[in-house]
Amino acid sequence: MKISSMKDLIDRYLAAYNAYDVDGMLSLLSQDVRFENYSGDQLTAATSGIDEFRKLAEQSRSLFSEREQRIAGLEFGHDSAIAVIAYRGKLAADIPDGPSAGTVLYLQGESEFSFGNGQITRIVDRS
């Protein structure tokens, strides 16, 4: 896949994510998409297939009243890319034994994207 096509998919995916547009995100993913989220070395969420991804994406929408992922760096491989992500999110609800609603979180992480047949086939988020 061309670098320009991979970058376009990533840009469109992040725009949909930032807009809370789950259908827009899903339109860019393969039916068998794999998603994994790691905090440190711990796997905190994983999905297999578009239906599981939809459920997680819809649940995640309610966690933040505002959220934005920005690309701070981008490196391409063969049918893959690693994006350095700057994340800002404002909590919509209190987290048990954690921050309260209204707290603004700033995180730095990486998202690894894999591609096939003009779609995103895998996303691995690490923070």
Where do we find the tokens 């994006």? 83
Give the strand pairing for 80-91 and 119-126: unpaired
Task: Decide if pLDDT at 2 tops 90.
Answer: yes
pLDDT confidence bin for 98, thresholds 50/70/90: confident
pLDDT at 105: 93
- What is the Cα–Cα distance from 84 to 112, expressed in whole angstroms? 9
**Residues near 61 by beta carbon (within 8 Å), at least 6 away in sequence:** 20, 22
| pLDDT tens digits, one per residue of 45-96 | 999 999 999 999 998 888 899 999 999 999 999 999 999 999 999 999 888 8
State what percent of residues in the chain have pLDDT above 90. 88
| Domain boundaries defined on the chain | 3-126
Q: Please work out, in degrees rounded to the nearest 5, the angle formed at the alpha carbon of residue 14 by the alpha carbons of 9 and 15.
A: 100
Query: Cβ(96)–Cβ(67) under 8 Å?
Result: no
Q: Which structure tokens are listed for 19? A: 């807009």
Taking Cα atoms as reference points, which of 84, 82, 81, 80 lies closest to residue 72? 84
Mean pLDDT of the chain: 95
Which of the four CATH numbers 1.20.1560.10, 3.10.450.50, 3.40.50.2300, 3.30.413.10 does domain 3-126 have?
3.10.450.50
pTM to 2 decimal places? 0.93
pLDDT at 62: 86
